[in-house]
A = this chain, B = another copy of it.
């Protein structure tokens, strides 16, 4: 009789083991080997385990609350079910959207590990070493600098987010920034602005270089003058200080609009304007990028190029699942072709630019 040759399982009288149940515990309870437990736990039973054994093991797993030890599994398989997101900064609420998009696609299959740098500082090579020591299955790199990319190891699957201009062999997911920036400059030109000032981000990531050059191109197309050379980190106070310092020169050059690389910096511009009794939009128009939730309630409401962060996250995560050979969750709408998510940026016009320059 099958089952008779099973040694009497160690008396459970000794109480639940301190700590987690192991595959050995499950095997003992189910009367099988650890190999079989592993097969069942990882779902690789197709044509290899009888259904009665599967049932027995499954119930033992259930009873003991067994969860595969991630560390041991990672060591044995050579890589962990962990995807690491490297992002420059978390204080920008915009990243919350990206993270949410990523997690919605990754689901339970992979853990998302976050590696954040200090504001304005890019993670360096030593970070990369410690990161890969965790044996991640994949690396998601948001808004990287060129130096950081150069230090990246070749090992794990890598997807770059918001990294225009990177020519590595990696998968890259970028916003379509052209639409939003063109619309922004067109809108300002239509309002009668002739001289625009640009507050850049000093973070030194490619996405900001692209934003600047797209605005330059659009300004040239419309015959507008663009004043550059001013930058700050992505922080309200720092941006306010930079704007305050730049103001005399901008004024002298006849600038009537301040375009900022991020909404956060635009908040600084608004604060600086308020402080110096410069009226927005009457004296100067102000715009940003990101369309943060709070941009609805600033004084005045902030015109902004909206970046679809959740779409970026979802698309990047889907790409990652492809690279990892895991099936991406089926798209909700079968109409879409490859990308279900629209990465087009979109201009949101609010009162901060609603004034016609005479």
Complex Cα–Cα for A49 and B283 (A): 72
Say whether B80 contacts A90, CB under 8 Å: no
A87-127 residues with Cβ-Cβ distance < 8 A to B are: 89-93, 95-97, 99-100, 103-104, 108, 111-116, 118-119, 126
Number of copies of chain A assembled together: 2
Q: Beyond A113-B114, A130-B111, A294-B298, is A89–B80 a contact (Cβ under 8 Å)?
A: no
Q: Which residues of B contact A130 (CB under 8 A)?
A: 67, 70, 108, 111
Nearest chain B residue, comparing its CB with the CB of A108:
B130
User: Among B71, B126, B133, B293, which residue has its beta carbon within 8 angstroms of that of A68?
Assistant: B133
Q: A93-B93, A134-B70 are in contact. Are A267 and B296 (CB under 8 A)?
A: yes
Instruction: Say if the beta carbon of A53 comes within 8 Å of chain B.
Output: no
A264 contact set on B, CB distance < 8 A: 293-294
Contact partners of A118 in chain B: CB under 8 A = 100, 103-104
- A100 contacts B108, C-beta separation under 8 Å: no
**A104 cross-chain contacts in B, Cβ below 8 A:** 118
**Which B-chain residue is minimally distant from A74 (CB atoms)?**
B71
Contact B108 A97 (CB under 8 A): no
A225 at the interface (CB under 8 A from B): no
By size class, the interface of chain A is 35 or more
User: Does A299 interact with chain B (Cβ within 8 Å)?
Assistant: yes
Partner of A271, one of B82, B155, B297: B297
| Residues of the B chain whose Cβ atoms lie less than 8 Å from the Cβ of A112 | 114-116
Determine if A278 is an interface residue (Cβ-Cβ < 8 Å). no
Instruction: Give Cα distance in the complex from A155 to B91, angstroms.
Output: 31
**Are A116 and B93 interface neighbours, CB within 8 A?**
no
B296 touches A70 (CB 8 A): no
CA distance A335 to B356 in the complex (A): 57
Determine if B296 and A297 form an interchain contact, defined as CB atoms under 8 angstroms apart.
no
Contact A135 B91 (CB under 8 A): no
User: A68 to chain B: which residues have CB within 8 Å?
Assistant: 133
Chain B nearest Cβ from A26, distance in angstroms = 14
Q: Tell me, in angstroms, the Cα distance from A293 to B44 when the chains sit together.
A: 51
Interface flags for A323-352 (1: CB within 8 Å of B; 0: not) read 000000000000000000000000000000
Is B65's CB under 8 angstroms from A129's CB? yes
| A181-206 interface (Cβ within 8 A of B) | none
A 134-170 binary contact with B (CB < 8 Å = 1; else 0)? 1100000000000000000001000000000000000
Contact of A91 among B100, B103, B267, B295 (CB under 8 A): B100
Taking CB atoms and an 8 Å cut-off, the chain A residues in 223-282 that contact chain B are 235-236, 264, 267, 270-271, 274
- Return A177 CB to nearest CB of chain B, in Å: 22
- Taking A71-B74, A93-B93, A299-B300 as given, write out 5 further A-B residue pairs in contact, using a Cβ cutoff of 8 Å, ordered by the A residue number: A71-B75, A90-B96, A91-B93, A103-B116, A103-B118
23 pairs from A and B in contact (CB 8 Å cutoff): A20-B132, A20-B133, A20-B155, A70-B133, A82-B134, A90-B90, A91-B293, A92-B93, A92-B96, A93-B96, A99-B114, A100-B118, A100-B119, A111-B113, A236-B297, A264-B293, A267-B293, A267-B296, A274-B297, A292-B294, A297-B299, A298-B299, A299-B301
